[in-house]
Structure 1
Amino acid sequence: MSDGKRSPWRAMALVSIISSYVVGGAVGGVFTGLWLGNQFGAKPFFLISCLLLGLFTGFYGVYKSVKPFLGDGKEQ
């Protein structure tokens, strides 16, 4: 029998979490940047800065989600 740590369903859930963080951050950053650019008349600046901020937030979420699966290298 398979133990709970090597389940393919768990791996698929982790992949979907990772992709949703990255895609959600990028799409949210683009839409926010476009909206702010239209409001203040500085499209390229807000688009690029919000996209980078969204990607940073997405990758931070990925890091926080994957961290428990990596372990810290210490044996108990």
Structure 2
Amino acid sequence: MSAAAFVPSVLVPAAGCTLVLTRDGVTERVSKQAAPAANSMQCGTILQGGLAAGTWTGTVEFHSVTVRGTSAPFTVQVPA
């Protein structure tokens, strides 16, 4: 499973992005460094493998010293 994200109108020297997936009380997290672009911070593609089959709820979190935010939730169906 993969997700891609960016944060418009934000430029900071150091930041990270975390993909958070939850299903049946289990939470999986994978983080990567965000990269600056012309007028945004790019999370790029965040990969998470080995998920159990079923419906997962996900968000992408952005975090730096001065800026934090969380995407709207989304669902992912992982086939059996």
Compute the TM-score of the two structures, normalised by the length of structure 2. Answer: 0.22
Relative to its length, the structure with more helix (as a share) is 1
Relative to its length, the structure with more strand (as a share) is 2
Q: Which structure is larger by alpha-carbon Rg, 1 or 2?
A: 1
